[in-house]
């Protein structure tokens, strides 16, 4: 609570009975639910070996059309290792990716400090990488990383034809193409492609199991058999080869099966929510029409300091949780990220429209 007794933005979001985003609380029930059908005598994995981990790796390799797959405790570890392997193969320290790539802004320069790689930043921070950007890369780039969708700019995606053109160019030039597919499954409904079709454009792929999938944690790195074997060595070097990873593996497998069929539903619901929000003056989304289950919600003409208490009051009064946090985008603009999951379906749509309408009205009053 603040001094006036109004709940803070985070408090009002947490207490509201109807949340529009996510798959539910990330508590121990996430693990318990995933273990309901698992027998207590199921063998665990041991240092990356055993049927529990091997079966899941083979499943993902087949699903994504790659020769081999290796389970990792984190995507941060998997992607740094993938780029290191491509760097060693090409005998070049230079890799390329977007200025707002996860490796550049969220990993404390791990790629540079641990592997001494030298990233080239492509495109402007507020737009996608294009084929023209790729053609202007230095000749010594060992690997190009593409993130689909580009999260930090709202989850935007390139046209599929341009993606195919980038892939073809990289193969012509002998440049490895790596997919940051943390949200790969979430983009398939928009592209109208299978995971295998999208991954066929890339030499290596990383996927996450805790974002839209909703597992506890964990990631998979996929590519050719040699890349997989090298990545196992690097996983041990990074300290990621724990004696057992089965809680992550079993929950990843369970929630992947549960939520993969729902990705088209989440996508349609994201478009529905975005349209409701954009109908209010001074509220816009990026992308204008979502291309996955996520988008960024922008509030123009108000700062986060002004908008936060307004949203908190609306959430407290209506019981509809819309926004958990706000990011300042200048003196009079702020934004947040929306990601649709299981919870949206259960939100009463009349109350949702009421909450968004009330929010639009109060924000307009604040702008004067």
DSSP string, 272-324: HHHHHHHTSTTEEEESSS-SSSEEEEEEETS-HHHHHHHHHHHHHHH-EE--S
Return d(Cα 19, Cα 340) in angstroms, integer.
10
Return d(Cα 102, Cα 100) in angstroms, integer.
6
Query: Is residue 1, in this structure, part of any structural domain at all?
Result: no
**Nearest partner of 360 among 294, 299, 315, judged by Cα:** 299
Residues 284, 288, 289, 294, CA torsion sign: negative
**Nearest partner of 212 among 159, 256, 244, judged by Cα:** 256
* Per-residue pLDDT at 7: 83
Residues 294 and 205 in one domain: no
Residues 187 and 269 in one domain: no
Return d(Cα 83, Cα 196) in angstroms, integer.
21
Query: Is residue 296, in this structure, part of any structural domain at all?
Result: yes
Residues 217 and 289 in one domain: no
Q: Token pair for residue 182?
A: 């943390």
Using an 8 Å Cβ cutoff, are 327 and 334 in contact?
A: yes
Residues 116 and 144 in one domain: yes
Q: Token pair for residue 215?
A: 């597992």
- CATH number for 217: 3.40.640.10
Return d(Cα 67, Cα 118) in angstroms, integer.
28
**Nearest partner of 241 among 54, 72, 42, judged by Cα:** 72
Residues 158 and 271 in one domain: no
Query: Is residue 254, in this structure, part of any structural domain at all?
Result: no
- CATH number for 273: 3.90.1150.10
* Per-residue pLDDT at 3: 55
* Per-residue pLDDT at 235: 98
The boundaries of the domain holding residue 117 are 45-243
Residues 186 and 332 in one domain: no
* Per-residue pLDDT at 331: 82
Query: Is residue 31, in this structure, part of any structural domain at all?
Result: no
Return d(Cα 225, Cα 65) in angstroms, integer.
12
The CA-based dihedral angle spanning residues 87, 93, 94, 98, taken in that order and rounded to the nearest 10 degrees: 70
Bridge-based pairing of strands 327-328 and 320-321 is unpaired
Residues 92 and 193 in one domain: yes
Provide the number of structural domains found in the chain. Answer: 2
Residues 143 and 173 in one domain: yes
Using an 8 Å Cβ cutoff, are 316 and 2 in contact?
A: no
Query: Is residue 255, in this structure, part of any structural domain at all?
Result: no
Query: Is residue 4, in this structure, part of any structural domain at all?
Result: no
* 326-351 per-residue burial string, b: 16 or more CB within 10 A, e: under 16: beeeeeebbbbbbbbbbbbeebeeee
Query: Is residue 223, in this structure, part of any structural domain at all?
Result: yes
Distances (CA, A) of 83 to 80, 198, 322: 5, 19, 37
**Nearest partner of 291 among 190, 361, 148, judged by Cα:** 190
Residues 277 and 145 in one domain: no
Task: Read off the DSSP letter of residue 218.
Answer: -
Return d(Cα 193, Cα 213) in angstroms, integer.
18
Residues 50 and 197 in one domain: yes
**Nearest partner of 283 among 302, 267, 268, judged by Cα:** 302
pLDDT means over runs of 10, the chain (368 residues): 72 96 94 93 94 97 98 98 98 98 98 98 97 97 98 98 98 98 98 98 98 96 98 98 96 98 98 98 97 98 96 97 94 95 98 98 94
**Nearest partner of 209 among 249, 265, 149, 152, judged by Cα:** 249
Nearby residues of 353 by Cβ (< 8 Å), 6 or more positions away? 276
Bridge-based pairing of strands 219-223 and 204-208 is antiparallel
Kindly report the number of other CB atoms within 10 A of residue 138's CB atom: 10
Spatial strand order in the sheet of 141-147: 68-72, 219-223, 204-208, 176-181, 141-147, 94-97, 118-121
Residues 51 and 133 in one domain: yes
Residues 181 and 60 in one domain: yes
């Amino acid at each position: 609570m603040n001094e006036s007794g109004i709940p803070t933005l985070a408090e009002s979001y947490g207490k509201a009975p109807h949340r529009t985003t996510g798959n539910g609380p990330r508590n121990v029930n996430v693990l318990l639910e995933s273990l309901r059908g698992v027998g207590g005598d199921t063998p665990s994995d041991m240092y990356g070996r055993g049927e529990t981990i091997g079966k899941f790796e083979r499943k993902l390799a087949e699903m994504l059309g790659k020769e081999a797959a290796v389970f990792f405790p984190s995507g941060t570890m998997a992607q740094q290792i993938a780029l290191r392997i491509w760097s060693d193969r090409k005998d070049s320290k230079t890799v390329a990716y977007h200025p707002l790539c996860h490796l550049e802004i969220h990993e404390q320069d791990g790629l540079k400090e641990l592997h001494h790689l030298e990233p080239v930043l492509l495109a402007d921070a507020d737009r996608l990488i294009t084929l023209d950007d790729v053609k202007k890369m230095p000749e010594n780039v060992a690997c190009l990383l593409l993130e689909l969708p580009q999260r930090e700019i709202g989850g935007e995606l390139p046209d599929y034809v341009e993606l195919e053109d980038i892939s073809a160019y990289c193969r012509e030039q002998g440049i490895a193409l790596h997919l940051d597919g943390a949200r790969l499954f979430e983009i398939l409904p928009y592209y109208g492609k299978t995971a295998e079709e999208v991954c066929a454009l890339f030499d290596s792929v990383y996927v996450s199991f805790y974002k839209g999938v909703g597992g506890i944690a964990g990631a998979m790195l996929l590519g050719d058999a040699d890349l997989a074997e090298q990545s196992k060595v690097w996983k041990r070097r990074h300290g990621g080869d724990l004696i057992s990873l089965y809680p992550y593996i079993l929950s990843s497998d369970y929630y992947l099966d549960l939520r993969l069929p729902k990705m088209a539903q989440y996508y349609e619901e994201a478009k529905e929510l975005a349209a409701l929000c954009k109908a209010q003056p001074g509220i816009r989304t990026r992308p204008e029409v979502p291309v996955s289950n996520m988008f960024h919600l922008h509030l123009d003409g108000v700062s986060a300091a002004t908008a936060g208490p307004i949203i908190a009051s609306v959430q407290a009064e209506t019981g509809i949780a819309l926004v958990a946090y706000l990011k300042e985008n200048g003196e009079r603009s702020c934004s947040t990220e929306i990601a649709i999951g299981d919870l949206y379906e259960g939100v009463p749509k009349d109350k949702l429209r009421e909450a968004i309408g009330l929010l639009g009205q109060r924000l307009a009053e604040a702008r004067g």
